[in-house]
């Protein structure tokens, strides 16, 4: 299994087994869902939240950041249904968004420092096992 698959598997395991973290995500309340002409769900509140954040760093200093915002309809019984979602990237932003992007990137760098301190206290990553002679690295 390639090392990227191992990292993904490890992250998925941590995400599944990690206790629920507080505080909860920030959710923007957008009011009631506007009914559409087609049959629509029961009355629901329109909520927006950031559902995915992806940061890809490299040693040479390159960083790619993208995130997804999702609008949901939240019914009184707690049932949710997606209304819309869109992915945004820091790679190409309008000139009027550059200051906001730069601010978020600085906050991200602060978060990365905190995460690296967390790693040092929790225990650094374990080295991969050496590949034995004649082993193809797990590919069969």
Please report whether residue 138 resides in a domain.
Answer: no
Q: How many other C-beta atoms lie within 10 A of the C-beta of residue 72?
A: 21
Instruction: Verify that 28 and 66 share a domain, yes or no.
Output: yes
Query: In 10 A of CB 90, how many CB atoms?
Result: 19
User: Is residue 30 helix, strand or coil?
Assistant: strand
Q: What's the rounded Cα separation, in Å, for the pair 118 and 108? A: 15
Q: Are residues 98 and 87 in the same domain?
A: no
| 16 inside domain | no
The answer to whether residue 52 is domain-embedded is yes
For residue 33, the tally of other CB atoms under 10 A from its CB is 21
Query: According to the model, what pLDDT value does residue 3 have?
Result: 45
Q: Do 74 and 87 sit in the same domain of this protein?
A: yes
Q: Are residues 79 and 28 both part of a single domain?
A: yes
Domain that holds residue 120: 93-124
Q: pLDDT digit of tens for each residue in the chain (140 aa)?
A: 454 444 454 444 444 445 566 777 777 788 887 765 455 556 889 999 999 999 999 999 899 999 999 999 998 898 999 999 999 999 989 999 999 999 999 999 999 999 999 999 999 999 988 888 876 665 55
117 and 67 fall within a common domain: no
Same domain (yes/no): 85, 101: no
H helix or E strand, kind and range, residue 116: helix 98-122
Sign of the torsion formed by the C-alpha atoms of 68, 125, 21 and 116 = negative
């Amino acid at each position: 299994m390639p090392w990227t698959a191992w990292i993904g598997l490890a992250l998925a395991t941590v995400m599944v087994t990690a206790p629920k973290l507080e505080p909860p995500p920030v959710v923007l309340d957008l009011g009631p869902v506007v009914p559409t002409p087609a049959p629509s769900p029961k009355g629901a509140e329109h909520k927006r939240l950031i559902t995915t954040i992806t940061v890809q760093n490299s040693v040479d200093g390159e960083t790619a950041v993208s995130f997804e915002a999702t609008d949901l309809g939240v019914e009184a019984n707690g049932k949710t249904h997606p209304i819309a979602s869109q992915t945004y990237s820091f790679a190409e932003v309008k000139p009027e968004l550059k200051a906001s992007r730069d601010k978020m990137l600085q906050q991200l760098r602060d978060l990365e420092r905190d995460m690296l301190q967390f790693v040092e206290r929790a225990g650094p990553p374990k080295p991969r096992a050496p590949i034995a002679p004649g082993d193809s690295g797990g590919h069969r």
